[in-house]
Amino acid sequence: MELIADLLREENEARAVDLARRMGVSQATVTATIGRLQRDGLVETKPYRGLFLTEAGQAMATAAKTRHDLMVRFLVAVGLDPETAEEDAEGLEHHASDKALAAFARFLETRR
């Protein structure tokens, strides 16, 4: 969801081939995932126009971006370089609980 939103923001278009290339997976994998996202009401496809986020999809993408940015800021605050923090946040953000994220946010607030 986050990558689709990024592509729409950066390139005004999100296509399955672009998602596959950026994620390093096959186009078949992306197509299957897009089908699931469509069934869940998060993504719409338009012939010859690529992918678009529904309102629910945009909300999910925004929440994912917020989690990601919080994780990056936390990792940098505890001493990780920004490049590594960005890479590590990609995996960690999906495994951190809401409690952990809230604790990270409180930690960052106290450092202001």
Asked if the model's pLDDT at residue 112 lies above 80, the reply is no
Cα end-to-end distance, the chain, whole Å: 31
Report CA 108 to chain centroid distance, whole Å. Answer: 21
pTM: 0.81
Kindly list the structural domains of the chain, giving each domain's residue range(s) and its CATH number in brackets, ordered by start: 2-53 (1.10.10.10), 60-110 (1.10.60.10)
- The predicted-structure confidence for 67-91, as pLDDT tens digits, reads as follows 999 999 999 999 999 999 999 998 8
Residue 62 token pair: 């925004």
